Amino acid sequence: MIIYRARVYDTPVDPFDGGEIRGDADAGIAVDGGAIVARDAFAAVRDRWPEADVVDLRDGVLIPGMIDTHVHFPQIRAIGHLGRPLLEWLDHCALPEEVRLGDPEYAAEIAAEFVRGLVSSGTTSALVFGSHFASAVDALFEEGERVGMRITSGLVTSDRILPEPLLTTPDRSRAEAAALIERWHGTGRARYAITPRFAFSASAELLASDASLRELADDLWFTSHVNENAAEIAGVAEMFPDARDYLDCYDRAGLLGRRSILAHNVAPTDAELARLGELGAGVAHCPTSNSALASGFFPLRRHLEHGVRVALGSDVGAGNGFSLFKEGAQAYFMQQLAPTGGLPLAAAHLLHLATSAGADALGLSDRVGVLSEGMRFDAVWVRPADGEPLDVGLRHAQSDDDAVAKLFALGTPADVARVWIDGELVTSRR
């Protein structure tokens, strides 16, 4: 039994539904075997277990482990290219790097860099866009298992338009995916996600073959891209003339359901939003990527009005880093700047989007996303260096909202001092 004594912030009630930040200035969180067995005022928890070890974290703040719902494993070395729209960026920046993952040794190196990038930024669960190469997807799951991360991922499939080494066939991809599902789905914290890259690079036959994987397990996840960029959307409409809209390319193949997360959805129709809401599916909002590629303003308000689950994605490597503090701040900026329909966001929304909203979208709300009794202890201790602006800000915050706003305004991976997953310390800088 360990009692963590800390200033804690989380969002047990959805702030888009009237919830507020739950802030405890001096909380005790008792953890046993990875589970939170009590959360109360420190003195009360201490009285219950006077012999327990106490870890004093009052120098910083404790928040739930963050949850990234869209991030590309093969693209860590592609971060930072500027000045190109989506399809050009893919051709020049991302896809040449993705081809290199055909080399298993290279893929293992990238997997280590990638998982480290996530964890050291305070991300403890992620829906990861995998690789086109099955051996590289193995490398990712192996590294995730070694570190203990909650990773949902899968083989990325495409059978047209992309460079030849990234192409597959319906039969080959089905066989490779089936073997990966057998090895990884439900193994430790790993789960499998069916992952066609996007309808733009997939034939209807490939999408149907991907959907047929559902016969192997009824709780597989699905992820892909949708409605990111005008040229992409027009291309998909040409390639799927019978589809009602972009989303329908996946829907008619039988790919969509509650366990689905589509990335971007910057330019959806109302019919698409209504369908996503009806399915209970989620959308990964990736604001630095949308900004870097000039993809557009995410219509957050319309998503919420249609009951669509929304969480944050870093979309590395189009997004420019792993930090969900930065994504939260950028989401806020873009809603402020949106020419029409922007939704003003408060600190509680940002914390929710980076934590509990991701848990909800990924079906992990019974385990992670908040620091309540009964949950697993996935947590991030933010402890900036003495005298840094975030340190000054946290010490002089006027309220819980003010403190959390400062986390998103000023927090960086360098301020993430410790990270726990399932009670295990996986990163420690202090």
Residues 310-369 that bind Zn ion (CB under 5 A): 315
**Least distance in angstroms from the C-beta of 407 to Zn ion:** 25
E-strand ranges in 79-232 read: 123-129, 150-153, 156-157, 191-196, 221-226
Which region among 141-149, 309-317, 366-374, 412-420 touches Zn ion (by CB under 5 A)? 309-317
Place of tokens 């589509």: 262
Considering beta carbons, is residue 11 or 227 the nearer one to Zn ion? 227
| Identity of residue 382 | V
CB 129 within 8 A of CB 106: no
CB 126 within 8 A of CB 94: no
**Least distance in angstroms from the C-beta of 200 to Zn ion:** 12
Which region among 103-111, 215-223, 259-267, 290-298 touches Zn ion (by CB under 5 A)? 259-267
Orientation of helix 347-354 relative to helix 324-337, angle to 10° = 130
Residue 312 main-chain phi, psi, to 5 deg = -100, 145
Which region among 13-21, 235-243, 308-316, 366-374 touches Zn ion (by CB under 5 A)? 308-316
**Least distance in angstroms from the C-beta of 129 to Zn ion:** 6
**Least distance in angstroms from the C-beta of 71 to Zn ion:** 8
| Identity of residue 409 | A
Which region among 26-34, 39-47, 260-268, 398-406 touches Zn ion (by CB under 5 A)? 260-268
**Least distance in angstroms from the C-beta of 286 to Zn ion:** 7
| Identity of residue 328 | G
Q: Could you check whether the bond before residue 317 is cis, i.e. omega within 30 degrees of 0? A: yes
Angle at 224 between CA 219 and CA 228, to 5 degrees: 150
Considering beta carbons, is residue 225 or 367 the nearer one to Zn ion? 225
**Least distance in angstroms from the C-beta of 4 to Zn ion:** 35
Say how many CA atoms lie within 13 Å of 250 toward its Cβ. Answer: 27
Within 10 A of 373 (CB to CB), how many other CB atoms are there? 12
Considering beta carbons, is residue 210 or 391 the nearer one to Zn ion? 210
**Least distance in angstroms from the C-beta of 319 to Zn ion:** 8
Considering beta carbons, is residue 284 or 348 the nearer one to Zn ion? 284
Element (H, E) at 327: helix 324-337
> Which 3 state secondary structure label does DSSP give 101?
coil
Considering beta carbons, is residue 176 or 315 the nearer one to Zn ion? 315
Which region among 261-269, 329-337, 403-411, 419-427 touches Zn ion (by CB under 5 A)? 261-269
**Would you report the helix, strand and coil content of the chain in percent, each value rounded to 5?**
40, 25, 35
Considering beta carbons, is residue 290 or 427 the nearer one to Zn ion? 290
Which region among 174-182, 205-213, 233-241, 257-265 touches Zn ion (by CB under 5 A)? 257-265
Number of residues that bind Zn ion (CB under 5 A): 2
Strand pairing category for 379-382 and 416-421 = antiparallel
Residues 18-37 that bind Zn ion (CB under 5 A): none
**Least distance in angstroms from the C-beta of 315 to Zn ion:** 5
Within 10 A of 148 (CB to CB), how many other CB atoms are there? 21
Q: Residues interacting with Zn ion, by CB under 5 A? A: 263, 315
